[in-house]
């Protein structure tokens, strides 16, 4: 399986090289007060941002990927049957559609109520504001309808594999180390059912003391249930 994070590191360095080119253009081609200084300032920002993203995010993820696939204590490596995995994708697609529909009813409903209020009760500028709100509601409706299919198609192109080790998790080509920059792991549990799964719980720091939790659901193939039940204890949970 390909280490995608290595590609991202190379792309960051290429972008850093492009920012150097922009800096030279601003320095030698465009006069300072005609935008040259602004271009140089922007290129410096892009240069250091590219290096920061490569060094703090993608390089550690690349190392974590290699650590997982070469781990001597690999807990599980599952390659999913295409027909079975396609059924999983369809189920996730339907669940995504249901979540979007529920959110759409609430959010678009609020936009429609506010739009009607402005159109009916605000004499100056109310109609224009109402139509802007209706436009936003229509845009969100379109986004809600197309995103489930977009994510389903993208996941269908990913490797139908899961690697679970003491170093981290790789699922559908993406690596999830158990610790990282602005990122952490809080536990794993086994979910019983007709289609059992391992639930890996992580969090991402998105602001000062703001922790955004998320869960990676790894389906358990038929016949691997016993091994999967042991994994939480092997990881200390």
Each residue's pLDDT tens digit, 15-66:
999 999 999 998 998 888 778 888 899 999 999 999 999 998 899 889 999 9
Angle of helix 59-69 versus helix 4-28 axis, rounded to 10: 160
Q: CA 213 to CA 36: how far, in whole Å?
A: 43
Instruction: Provide CB contacts within 8 A for 191, sequence distance 6+.
Output: 197, 198, 199, 217
Bridge partners (DSSP) listed for residue 185: 202
Q: Are 1 and 162 in contact (CB under 8 A)?
A: no
Q: Quick one: pLDDT at residue 170? A: 93
| Domain ranges within the chain, ordered by starting residue | 4-69, 76-80+160-234, 82-156
pLDDT in tens, 109-166: 999 999 999 889 888 878 888 899 999 999 989 999 999 998 888 888 888 899 999 9
In three-state secondary structure terms, 3 is coil
CA-to-CA distance for 167 and 185, rounded, in angstroms?
11
Other Cβ atoms closer than 10 A to 174? 14
pLDDT tens across 162-198, in order?
999 999 999 988 889 988 877 889 999 999 988 899 9
CA triplet 108, 112, 113: central angle to 5 degrees?
Answer: 120
Q: Is the pTM of this model over 0.75?
A: no
Sequence-ordered strand ranges (E) for 118-196:
161-164, 168-171, 174-177, 179-180, 183-191
Element (H, E) at 124: none
């Amino acid at each position: 399986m390909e280490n995608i994070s290595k590609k991202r590191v190379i792309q960051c360095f290429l972008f850093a090289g492009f920012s150097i080119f922009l800096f030279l253009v601003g320095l030698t081609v465009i006069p300072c007060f005609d935008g040259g200084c602004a271009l140089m300032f922007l290129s410096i920002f892009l240069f250091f941002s590219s290096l920061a993203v490569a060094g703090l995010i993608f390089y550690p993820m690349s190392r974590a990927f290699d650590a997982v696939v070469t781990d001597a204590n690999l807990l599980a490596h599952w390659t999913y049957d295409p027909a079975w995995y396609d059924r999983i994708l369809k189920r996730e697609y339907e669940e995504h559609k249901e979540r979007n529909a529920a959110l759409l009813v609430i959010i678009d409903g609020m936009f429609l109520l506010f739009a009607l209020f402005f159109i009916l009760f605000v004499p100056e500028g109310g109609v224009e504001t109402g139509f802007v709100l209706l436009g936003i509601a229509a845009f969100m409706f379109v986004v809600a309808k197309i995103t489930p299919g977009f994510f389903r198609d993208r996941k269908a192109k990913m490797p139908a594999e899961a690697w679970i080790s003491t170093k981290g998790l790789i699922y559908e080509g993406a690596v999830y180390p158990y610790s990282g920059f602005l990122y952490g792991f809080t536990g794993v549990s086994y979910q019983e059912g007709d289609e059992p799964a391992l639930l890996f719980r992580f969090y991402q720091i998105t602001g000062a003391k703001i922790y955004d939790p998320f869960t990676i659901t790894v389906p358990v193939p038929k016949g691997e249930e016993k091994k999967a039940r042991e994994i939480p204890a092997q990881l200390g949970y």
